[in-house]
Amino acid sequence: MSERDAAVRVIRGLRERDHVAYLAGGCVRDMLLGHEPKDFDVATDARPEQIEAYFRKTASVGAAFGVVLVRDFGATIEVATFRSDGVYSDARRPDSIEFSSPEMDAQRRDFTINALFLDPESEEVIDYVDGRRDIEARVLRAVGDPDKRLQEDHLRAMRAVRFAARYGLTIEANTAEAIRRHALELRGVSIERIGDEMRRMLLHPSRTAAIGLIDELGLDDAVFGDVCSFDPGIMGRLGVRISYGLALAALALGRGLGIDEDSGGVCRVYRQRLDLSNADRDTLASILEIARSMHDNWEQLGVAGKRRLAGREHAGDALSLFEAWCAERERDDADAIVHEINAWAESEEGVCPPALIDGGGLIELGMNPGPRFREILDAVYDAQLEGRVHDRLGAIELAKKLNEKPA
């Protein structure tokens, strides 16, 4: 059973007990915009304790907000009781709620496109805030007073950016001006929440538009800690589906980092302000470092050095970044690199084949482990990559000769 079908079964179960129940929020928005919804949420006038009594497999995940998960029909459906929100003293969650009506529930939501309900049986859209009109006009508008909506949760400024970029919407003038007025209040939002929004934006094909909106709305200082005009050229030349690390690297170059500059400072700032994991930070650093090497000294590396660099983890992303950087400047520097790497990749042994001899092999030859081990192994592998050694016997002979030389 699909998630939509499971949600409809929940709605029918509630209606059989004389309750009002609809599909709500994001799934309605996505369907009206022609997108496939990821989740199907239900809103109802049934109280949480009633929902738990009506269905066998339930879990209360937001008792304070009237949210119950129903798992009776093969999918997990979030069922929320219609409510009105009290004051948001922490600028994130309401201090209190009151169970209410569909109309009042719509009035508490962030944007009109997210405040719609749908009767899945009649296909009627229940719209108390002119959200359908805004969808048809491709407009993102705050529900009611935009200043109040933003004061309730400052992260709504970032959500506005994400929705507008993802769905190709224009942010309504009053809403946009309110975002600008409250831009610096975003500093009070946890880096975990900001980082999550940034990850969603950067992993979506609309990433370039999203970062442009962050700049346009004056959110860059609060998000990145500085004001810097974003150049969309490099990011816009990358593929539709790219890794998070590559998107971050393109963001760094688009915000002013030179491809030939040390990236340590940027990586530290992004780690702190975007809540990057250590792995994400290391990936970003690796991509920028490899791209810098391709730019600065590819020709000086020699065959072995080039193949080692091209065989490193994240080298593919680094090459994509360097290609985009070159294309943006109408330079052909990357063409030769792509040609060389493709030639190695298409060869029988590949870019970086397994070493013909390892430390165990050196021990079998009677060599004692020590500092010379790594030097000999590296020299033999370089010879292999350069085509001077073709088999294990040749690798052994070279290792013996190198071992006989004084350190």
**Spatial separation of the C-alpha atoms in residues 309 and 79, rounded to whole Å:** 52
Residuewise pLDDT in 10s, the chain (407 residues): 799 999 999 999 999 999 999 999 999 999 999 999 999 999 999 999 999 999 999 998 876 778 999 999 999 999 999 988 766 665 566 665 677 899 999 999 999 999 999 999 999 999 999 999 999 999 999 999 999 999 999 999 999 999 999 999 999 999 999 999 999 999 999 999 999 999 999 999 999 999 999 999 999 999 999 888 899 999 999 999 999 999 999 999 999 999 999 999 999 999 999 999 999 999 999 999 999 999 999 999 999 999 999 999 999 999 999 999 999 999 999 999 999 999 999 999 999 999 999 988 888 888 888 888 899 999 999 999 999 999 999 999 998 898 887 76
Count of CB atoms within 10 A of residue 237's CB? 17
The interaxial angle of helices 191-202 and 244-254, nearest 10 deg, is 100
**Spatial separation of the C-alpha atoms in residues 351 and 311, rounded to whole Å:** 6
**Spatial separation of the C-alpha atoms in residues 317 and 247, rounded to whole Å:** 9
- What single-letter DSSP state applies at residue 72? T
Q: What are the structural domain ranges in the chain? A: 1-137, 139-224, 231-353, 359-404
User: What residues form DSSP beta bridges with 281?
Assistant: none
User: What residues form DSSP beta bridges with 42?
Assistant: 23, 79
The architecture in CATH of the region 1-137 reads 2-Layer Sandwich (3.30)
What per-residue confidence (pLDDT) applies to 65? 79
Greatest pairwise CA separation for the chain in angstroms? 91
**Spatial separation of the C-alpha atoms in residues 21 and 128, rounded to whole Å:** 15
Q: What does the DSSP assignment read for 102-165?
A: HHHHHHTSSBGGGS-EE-TTT--EE-SSSHHHHHHHTEE-BSS-HHHHHHH-TTHHHHHHHHHH
- What single-letter DSSP state applies at residue 42? E
For residue range 376-407, what is the model confidence (pLDDT) as tens digits?
A: 999 999 999 999 999 999 999 998 898 887 76
**Spatial separation of the C-alpha atoms in residues 100 and 334, rounded to whole Å:** 61
Fold of 139-224: cca-adding enzyme, domain 2 (1.10.3090)
Task: Record the tokens describing residue 64, joined without a space.
Answer: 């304070």
**Spatial separation of the C-alpha atoms in residues 359 and 374, rounded to whole Å:** 8
> What residue type is 304 in one-letter code?
A
What per-residue confidence (pLDDT) applies to 223? 95
